[in-house]
Amino acid sequence: MSIDNEFSILQSTLKKLLKAKKESGFENKNWDEWFIDHFSDIKSSRDKSVENFFYKNDFDQWVQNFTINLDNIQNESSAKDIVLNYSGKNDFAIIIGAGPSLKKHNHLEKLAKSNYRGAIICTDRSLIPALKAGVTPKKFPNFFVITIDAYEEIQKYYDDEIVKEFGHLINGIFSVLTFPATVNKARNAGIKINWIHTLFDYAEGQKSFNYISALMIRSKNPVHKLPAIQTGGNVGTSGWFIGWKILKSKTICLIGMNHGWEEDDPKDLILSHGNVGDISEIKSNEENFQKLFPKIFNPYFKTNCILDPIFEYYSSTLKEFILRSPENISTINSTEGGSLFGKRITCLNFTEFLSKF
């Protein structure tokens, strides 16, 4: 390295850099990671592909959903009020995803029989199975359910007698973009509705839909502001952010969050990301399969899991945000499988977690 490239700065400059590094969420990361991130102003090709897809296929639906929801959003609670009502009671939170490990390891049944006293954050898809397994708000009073997806079919996750039985004891956290019939199902079941923004274009400033929709919500009452969360692209990661940023939990445990497939799951299920896609044009020869759907080994649980491109994207995104979270936020993966392991993630058998918390 030439002497001309020697990197030397004043301590006052270093202090400014340290402050900027901390404020951008990189306090616990090394300088190189911060510099690379800080000087990058181009979205990753993965982020760009996903963005293009949603603008083409879903954006219009989001705007329609928001418009129909607006009157209710203006009159119902902001999710920021949850902090005021529940502060100090949610030091621990369990996020319940709907991954195959939930059933495989009887995690809902183990939770139902436990003496756990922290918050429960159910993803919408896991609500009915959780209630039916005995994980109810009667036993766990700090009980939340979240919906991020704006699709019409999400309403089925609130369509069951058991939701009506326990709804009045459940706090629901809903994106302002949620399909209106989904929120109606939850509302009619007695679930208390708390609204949040799901961030996607706020960086575009005053022209962004996130900014404009927030203005519209505040048009009747200027102090009616909502928290705006990073979703990480899926409801499970949204749950992790809600645990940290809204419930202010210090220890966040993940169950049913495989972010991957089991080795013995049917090939068609894996190819189609859970039977949701048209897989007829996806080449499934062995070489292509191993490339698109790599098998990874979780050295902590000593299990294999198979990623598809979407799960790989989710998994790497959540790991990035876990790394960027403050040191006092502990993320414990008790899924007992899947792709979530690595720095700042403690993999712990769920029975062991329940015995400690």
Partner 1 sequence: MKANFKINNDDDEIESKELPTEEKKDITDEEFENYIVKTGAAGSFMVFRNFKKKQDELGLDEI
122-151 residues near partner 1, rule: CB under 8 A: 148-149, 151
- Pattern 80-109, binding to partner 1, x per CB under 8 A? x-----------------------------
Stretch that binds partner 1, among 133-141, 155-163, 302-310, 347-355 (CB under 8 A): 302-310
* Binds partner 1 (CB under 8 A): choice among 258, 317, 331, 333: 317
The residue within the footprint of partner 1, chosen from 69, 155, 182, 234 (CB under 8 A), is 234
User: Is the separation of the CB atoms in 320 and 331 below 8 Å?
Assistant: no
In the list 147, 155, 194, 231, the residue contacting partner 1 (rule: CB under 8 A) is 231
**Under 8 Å CB-to-CB from 324, ≥6 apart: which residues?**
25, 26, 28, 29
Using CB under 8 A, pick the residue from 28, 29, 46, 134 that binds partner 1.
46
Beta bridge partners of 347: 333
Considering only residues 262 to 291 of the shown chain, the ones binding partner 1 according to CB under 8 A are 272-274, 276-279, 281-282, 290-291
Site for partner 1 in 235-254 (CB under 8 A): 235, 238, 241, 245
Query: Quick check: 36 binds partner 1 (CB under 8 A)?
Result: no
Stretch that binds partner 1, among 111-119, 128-136, 314-322, 330-338 (CB under 8 A): 314-322
Q: Which is nearer to partner 1, 190 or 309 (CB)?
A: 309
Q: Looking at 10, 161, 327, 356, which residue binds partner 1 (CB under 8 A)?
A: 10
Q: Closer to partner 1 at the Cβ: 80 or 139?
A: 80
Distance in Å, CB of 355 to partner 1, minimum: 28
Candidates 199, 198, 167; CA nearest to 183 is 167
Residue 115 sits at φ, ψ, to 5 deg, of: -105, 25
Please check whether residue 249 is in contact with residue 90, taking contact to mean a CB–CB distance below 8 angstroms.
Answer: yes
Q: How far is the CB of 34 from partner 1 (least distance, A)?
A: 9
- 35, 334 in Cβ contact below 8 A? no
Q: What is the DSSP string of 280-340?
A: TTS---HHHHHHHS-EEEETTTTEEEE--HHHHHHHHHHHHHHHHS-TT-EEEE-SSSSS-
Please give the Cα distance from 261 to 285 (Å, whole number): 18
CA distance 58 to 68: 16
Contact flag: residue 344 with partner 1 (CB under 8 A): no
Q: In b/e form, how buried is each residue of 60-97, taking b as 16+ CB within 10 angstroms?
A: eebeebbeebbebbeebbbbeebbeebeeebebbbbbb
Least separation in angstroms between CB 168 and partner 1: 27
Please choose, out of 102-110, 184-192, 255-263, 306-314, the segment that lies near partner 1 by the rule CB under 8 A: 306-314
**Contacts to partner 1 from residues 56-85, by CB under 8 A:** 57, 78, 80
**Least CB distance to partner 1 at residue 192 (A):** 19
Q: Which of 116, 174, 195, 313 binds partner 1 (CB under 8 A)?
A: 313
Q: What is the SS3 assignment for 99?
A: coil
Q: Between helices 45-57 and 59-75, what is the axis angle to 10°?
A: 80
**Alpha-carbon torsion (283, 288, 290, 294), positive or negative:** negative
Pick one of 16, 138, 156, 225: the residue that binds partner 1 (CB under 8 A). Answer: 225
Give the three-class secondary structure for 253: strand
Residue 197 contacts partner 1 per CB under 8 A: yes
Three-state DSSP at 156 gives helix
